[in-house]
Amino acid sequence: MLIKLLLLGVALFAVYLLFFKKGREKNIQKKNEEITDTLVECPKCGTYVSKDEAILSSGKYFCSKECLK
């Protein structure tokens, strides 16, 4: 009886490794690939803003129109 329970546990663990762990690793890699945002510092106020959302002027990235003036 103990051997049957042990074999059942090993089989369930093998099923977990085959089906669930690989899918989870793929999701983690996919999430890491999605995070590619770069933060830049505003030269006037010193706050960090996303490079995509920043205002580029004269080769510098500003956080807002107020800092650009």
Total domains in the fold of the chain: 2
Tell me, what's the pLDDT at 38? 86
What is the enclosing helix (H) or strand (E) of 67? helix 65-68
Owning domain of residue 20: 1-36
We report the CATH number of the domain holding residue 45 as: 3.30.60
pLDDT tens digit sequence for 55-69? 999 999 999 999 988
41-58 mean pLDDT:
91
**Co-location of 31 and 57 in the same domain:** no
**Co-location of 29 and 3 in the same domain:** yes
